Structure 1
Amino acid sequence: MAGALLMLLGMAAFAGNDAIGKWLVADYGVAQVILLRSLAALLIMAPLILRGDRVVARLRSAPRPGLQALRAVCATAEVFCFYFAVYYMPLADVMAFWMAAPIYVVAISPFLLGERVGKRTWMAVAVGFVGVLILLAPSLQLSGPGAFFALLGTAAFAGIMILGRSLRETADRDLVLFQLAAAGLAGLVFAPFDWQPLRSGGDLALLFLLGVVATAAHMLVTRALKLADASVVAPLQYSLLVWGAAFGFLIFGDVPAPAMLIGAALIVASGLIVLRR
């Protein structure tokens, strides 16, 4: 139950991250946003990173370094793909693609993690996915560069969740540090090609806030995957759309359509079934 609740909080934080990111990539390059977000996040995590034993020694002794590196690559690919996708597509459409990730996780977890997935969990996943389709069928874009980046990002996100569960013996701070550092290094390489001067102090504050929210989201999801099976908490990702609808209304003035309300009801039902199981 603790893992499920933390996953729900993590999805709320990711929804805030997505809304802020969508706002910023309209004016700044994707790599620039990721670089500055990563620097802000690492600054926030500095007390956790520097606490205890030496950083270099701790990182060298991290278990299963191959999987650690693969998870960092997946995390970097996921964040780049997401911001490229929202550049080309509406935020809600991109979220619809990301909702396929729980299907991948539930399908793969019995083989890679040895988890038992019951029929009712499969039913919950199916109910949530039907809700997604009802929610976004009128506008969903299935072709073009946006869809390409969204499909890659969805697969990468599923990989993060599976690998996070596999590496649950690694400290939370180290798992988050690896993925933030990898994304920051990638941003440092590509940001000079599309760097835009910061237009205002407000934008700088938003970039810092993006780092805060992203750090919180990653920490919450990482801890959730340590406390509960991936096949249990992954379907709760559907709650992201409920939060997305709320942020869309409050920030961008998007009024929910009837399909939004019906789809959201099914998504909530899906999450409740998983929590009950």
Structure 2
Amino acid sequence: MAQQNTRLGIWLMVLTTLIFSVQDGLSRHLSEATNVYMVTMVRYWFFAAFVITLAARSKGGLRGAVKSGQPVLQTIRGVLLVVEICVMVSAFVYLGLVESHAVFACYPLLIAALSGPVLGEKVGWRRWTAIGIGFVGIVIILQPSGGVFSPLAAIPLLAALMFALYGLLTRRVARTDSAATSFFWTGVVGVITATLIGMWFWQPMDAPDWAMMALLCLTGATGHYTLIKCYEVAEASAVQPFAYLQLVFASALGLIVFNESLRPNVVIGGAIIVCAGIFTLLRARKAEQR
């Protein structure tokens, strides 16, 4: 087992969030230039190659990675993640990085709220209070009286719900399958699903966009690699709160590169969601320690 180094794990999580933020910016640009489904498909081609390479070099090889005690749930996980990526990148195109990530930041609250019915876990009144406060933050961002509130605002919220379900299913299959097996199924099922969808939406791209596509694939592989290393050197509960930095990095990218605006209600609502989310993560960590 790798030696625990929380400080290194935190820095790796910070680096991971920065890489994934760049990936979000590239995904938005390429999806505006072509379409979401083609971009997701090409991205998954590279990701699947990365996953299969890691599995082949791991202990037990491909044969060990493919063995799953819950193949149906693993398949659902893989399909769910592809659809979630398509929905979230669509949110980037229609709403921008700032507002999309501000709403999407509620996914840990959704995980906490759904952990009871999906996993049979007990959620105490403190976490339910934090969940309620977090959803007040969502209402502040959406501004029912105007602003961003529109049917489009449901897109990142739907993505957050799907990502929460993906996270819960990941914890469910972890009862029988190793992380390497789950990672392998995510890549293989994902590339099949993404190709079945994206092949109907192929569009030609010019050389600069292909260069950006290559960079997108590289950031995807690099981000997953640093995330794996992060969880190898530190406990997930210790570094997970720092994943919220992706909201900061992605928002900065949206403001600087895509000339997005930062309204006060988005800042206030996003801050409330992040604080509530961090509280639920800390409470979950204490519950695990007990």
Question: Normalising by the residue count of structure 1, what TM-score does the alignment of the two structures yield?
Answer: 0.76
**Correspondence for 2:112:** 106
- C-alpha contact 2:68 2:177 (8 A) present in aligned 1: yes
Distance in 1 (alpha carbons) for counterparts of 2:177 and 2:123? 25
1:206 to 212, 232, 235: 212
Distance in 1 (alpha carbons) for counterparts of 2:268 and 2:153? 24
Q: 1:110 to 1:190 in 2, by over 3 A?
A: closer
**Correspondence for 1:17:** 23
Q: 1:10 to 1:28 in 2, by over 3 A?
A: same
2:193 is the alignment partner of 1:174: no
Distance in 1 (alpha carbons) for counterparts of 2:228 and 2:106? 17
| SS of 1:197 mapped into structure 2 | coil
Note the residue ranges of structure 2 that are not aligned, 5 or more in a row: 284-290
**Correspondence for 1:65:** 71
> How many matched pairs?
270
| SS of 1:181 mapped into structure 2 | helix
TM-superposition CA deviations, 1:107-130 (whole Å, max 9, x none): 221233233323333333344443
- C-alpha contact 2:82 2:194 (8 A) present in aligned 1: no
**Correspondence for 1:248:** 254
Given residue 69 of structure 1, which amino acid in structure 2 is its aligned partner?
T
Q: 1:13 to 1:127 in 2, by over 3 A?
A: farther
Given residue 104 of structure 2, which amino acid in structure 1 is its aligned partner?
W
2:158 is the alignment partner of 1:116: no
Given residue 187 of structure 2, which amino acid in structure 1 is its aligned partner?
L
TM-superposition CA deviations, 1:82-102 (whole Å, max 9, x none): 233434443444335534433
**Correspondence for 1:142:** 150
1:156-171 alignment, distance < 5 Å: 156-168=162-174, 169-171=176-178
The CA deviation at 1:162 is 0.3
- C-alpha contact 1:101 1:158 (8 A) present in aligned 2: yes
The CA RMSD over aligned residues, in Å, is 3.7
- C-alpha contact 1:34 1:184 (8 A) present in aligned 2: no
Question: Normalising by the residue count of structure 2, what TM-score does the alignment of the two structures yield?
Answer: 0.74
Given residue 184 of structure 2, which amino acid in structure 1 is its aligned partner?
L
Distance in 2 (alpha carbons) for counterparts of 1:131 and 1:199? 41
Given residue 168 of structure 2, which amino acid in structure 1 is its aligned partner?
I
The CA deviation at 1:158 is 1.6
Given residue 86 of structure 1, which amino acid in structure 2 is its aligned partner?
F
Q: 1:167 to 1:48 in 2, by over 3 A?
A: same
Q: 1:221 to 1:156 in 2, by over 3 A?
A: farther
Q: 1:147 to 1:180 in 2, by over 3 A?
A: farther
Distance in 2 (alpha carbons) for counterparts of 1:125 and 1:240? 20
Given residue 124 of structure 2, which amino acid in structure 1 is its aligned partner?
G
2:38 to 27, 32, 41: 32
| SS of 1:25 mapped into structure 2 | helix
**Correspondence for 1:154:** 160
Q: 1:81 to 1:99 in 2, by over 3 A?
A: same
The CA deviation at 1:195 is 1.7
The CA deviation at 1:257 is 3.5
Q: 1:73 to 1:47 in 2, by over 3 A?
A: closer
Distance in 2 (alpha carbons) for counterparts of 1:85 and 1:257? 17
Distance in 2 (alpha carbons) for counterparts of 1:21 and 1:34? 8
% identical equivalent positions: 27
- C-alpha contact 1:31 1:186 (8 A) present in aligned 2: no
Note the residue ranges of structure 1 that are not aligned, 5 or more in a row: none
- C-alpha contact 2:26 2:212 (8 A) present in aligned 1: yes
- C-alpha contact 1:76 1:186 (8 A) present in aligned 2: yes
